[in-house]
Amino acid sequence: MTEEKMKSANKPMTILLSLVASFLLSMFLINFNNQPGQEGQFDTFGHEAFHSIFLMIAFVFPILLTKKLYEQSLWKSSWINLGYWTITIALMGVYLTH
């Protein structure tokens, strides 16, 4: 990415869309982790983290892998992104269900 391209970005729109995307992700996680009839039964940190990591492996990893392959980016940046999203989704899932 060039410096010109970074300066020309619409920062308020980027932040707004990031917040909307985070809100949608949190709504999905809260519904995925809190299934009807299971209230209190599986409300443990480990169980919620497991659900979140499962989502990471089943959904986010394939998306990031496909993105990496088409962009032909470095593996290092892909692993950083994967680590970031693993931690984010795990913490979001745990926080939203407690």
What's the pLDDT tens digit per position in 29-78? 777 766 655 555 666 777 777 877 788 888 888 888 888 888 888 889 88
Query: Bigger pLDDT: 48 or 79?
Result: 79
Q: Which residues contact 51 (CB under 8 A, 6 or more apart)?
A: 32, 33, 93
CB 93 within 8 A of CB 45: no
Q: Is 68 exposed, middle or buried (0-12, 13-18, 19+ CB in 10 A)?
A: middle
CB 56 within 8 A of CB 85: yes
Using DSSP's 3-state secondary structure scheme, residue 41 falls into coil
**For the whole model, what pTM was predicted?**
0.64
Residue 1 has pLDDT above 70, yes or no: no
Query: Bigger pLDDT: 31 or 25?
Result: 25
